[in-house]
């Protein structure tokens, strides 16, 4: 027997029903007005057609009530659709504070993903049911698009910058993952799956050693199982960043302290203030002179071409883990950093 193909994908996220409701409303409004206008057009064309011997009817200059009616009703519907769509858009654009973060790198033609705990996957993403998942994404080459139909979630993945989106799965199971942006000759093969698991099952999977590769292929090379922040510490040590970035801002320091930097306002040499977010940290690693911090000379070398997107993400995660005294650092980083200054990045 042939299995039935559903007209619409399964609803498997907290936002799916909201997106579908708006979509069905748009279809309903379009059908209603399409049928209404077509019916009136045919009816008027037949009923009020010019017949032989009929006098020319007098010109009608206007009917204010009718004109107001067909202006106010479409305007009201348009505003309703706009605000309804805006509410859903802003909810999609703002991950909950308790969201679990996963890093995604798009590459011709695969998805590379890493959990904060260090577990890495290719073309698969395992997540627990009922837990918001925030995706921080970038591309190593061209524009890709992370698309999961069952979650009604799609976001462009761009080279040279970070984009974020989120979802919360509501049903255990496996769901298709596609690239929805033509990205080259093997674009159609850039597919994967999202595996939604019960929390206990997910924790058991997370504690397993080794990365996940679809179909039982060879393990992923690299720092599988190492948390990104801890891998970032290793990169910091490798590139001797501590030579310039001390744990405290001192007159002799060549570069600014990175402790507690993430999320704070940074004053630049031209007087502007910017927030030290993910995009700022990435730009500072690859193009240090783009936004020079006030009080420091442009002596930092660029790491363009020396680090790939995963390594840049690991460095950023390490910088984010550097907390002032009294605040808790990311798991695994404090112990690993015991042999290096706290401000290293």
CA dist 337 and 311 (Å) reads 17
Kindly compute the dihedral angle of the four CA atoms of residues 15, 21, 26, 27, in this order, to the nearest 10 degrees: 120
Confidence (pLDDT) at 87 = 95
Q: Tokens representing 319?
A: 């910088």
Give me the CATH code for the 7-44+95-225 domain, please.
Answer: 2.60.40.420
Q: How far is CA 269 from the centre of its chain?
A: 31
Confidence (pLDDT) at 220 = 41
Confidence (pLDDT) at 342 = 39
Confidence (pLDDT) at 209 = 57
Q: Which residue in the block uniquely carries the two structure tokens 């590379």? A: 112
Q: Using DSSP bridges, classify how beta strands 153-157 and 163-167 pair: parallel, antiparallel or unpaired.
A: unpaired
Confidence (pLDDT) at 142 = 94
- Taking each helix axis from N to C end, the angle separating 64-93 and 16-47, rounded to the nearest 10 degrees, works out to 160
Q: Tokens representing 83?
A: 């605000």
Confidence (pLDDT) at 334 = 44
Domain boundaries, the chain: 7-44+95-225, 228-339
Task: Say if residue 51 is exposed, middle or buried (CB neighbours under 10 Å; 0-12, 13-18, 19+).
Answer: exposed
pTM: 0.77
Confidence (pLDDT) at 344 = 38
Question: What burial letters (b/e) apply to 206-221, b meaning 16+ CB within 10 Å?
Answer: eeeeebbeeeeeeebe
Report helix, strand or coil for 173. Answer: strand
Q: Using DSSP bridges, classify how beta strands 133-139 and 124-128 pair: parallel, antiparallel or unpaired.
A: unpaired
Note if the bond before 103 is cis, omega within 30 degrees.
no
Q: Tokens representing 50?
A: 């010019």
Query: Dihedrals φ, ψ of 166, to 5°?
Result: -155, 165
Confidence (pLDDT) at 332 = 43
CA dist 233 and 307 (Å) reads 14
Q: Which of 79, 74, 90 is nearest to 30 (CA)?
A: 74
Q: How far is CA 178 from the centre of its chain?
A: 14
Confidence (pLDDT) at 341 = 42
Q: Tokens representing 276?
A: 């030290």
Please give the CATH architecture assigned to the domain spanning 228-339. Answer: Orthogonal Bundle (1.10)
Those residues of the chain that have pLDDT short of 70 are: 1-5, 209-224, 247-253, 325-345
């Amino acid at each position: 027997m042939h299995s039935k193909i559903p007209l619409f994908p399964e609803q498997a996220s907290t936002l799916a029903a909201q997106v579908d409701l708006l979509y069905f409303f748009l279809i309903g409004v379009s059908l209603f007005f399409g049928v209404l206008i077509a019916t009136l057009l045919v009816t008027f064309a037949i009923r009020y057609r010019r017949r032989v011997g009929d006098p020319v009817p007098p010109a009608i200059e206007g009917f204010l009530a009718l004109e107001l009616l067909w202006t106010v009703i479409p305007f009201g519907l348009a505003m309703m659709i706009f605000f309804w769509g805006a509410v859903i858009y802003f909810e999609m654009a703002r991950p909950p504070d308790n969201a679990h973060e996963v890093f995604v790198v798009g590459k011709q033609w695969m998805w590379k993903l890493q959990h904060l705990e260090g577990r890495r996957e290719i073309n698969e993403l395992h997540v627990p049911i009922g837990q918001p998942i925030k995706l921080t994404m970038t591309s190593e080459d061209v524009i890709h698009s992370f698309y999961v139909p069952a979650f009604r979630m799609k976001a462009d993945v761009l080279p040279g910058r970070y984009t974020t989106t989120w979802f919360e799965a509501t049903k255990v199971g496996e769901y298709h993952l596609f690239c929805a942006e033509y990205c080259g000759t093997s674009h159609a093969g850039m597919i994967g799956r999202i595996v939604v698991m019960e929390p206990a099952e997910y924790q058991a999977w997370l504690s397993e050693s080794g990365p996940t590769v679809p179909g039982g292929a060879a393990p992923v090379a690299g720092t599988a199982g190492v948390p990104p922040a801890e891998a970032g510490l290793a990169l910091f040590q490798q590139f001797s960043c501590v030579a310039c970035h001390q744990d405290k801002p001192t007159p002799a320091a060549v570069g600014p302290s990175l402790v507690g930097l993430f999320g704070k306002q940074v004053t630049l040499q031209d007087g502007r203030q910017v927030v030290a977010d993910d995009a700022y940290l990435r730009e500072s690693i690859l193009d240090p002179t783009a936004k020079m911090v006030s009080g420091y000379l442009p002596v930092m070398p660029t790491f363009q071409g020396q680090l790939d997107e995963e390594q840049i993400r690991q460095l950023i995660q390490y910088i984010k883990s550097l907390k002032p005294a009294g605040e808790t650092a990311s798991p695994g980083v404090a112990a690993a950093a015991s042999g290096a200054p706290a401000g290293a990045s």
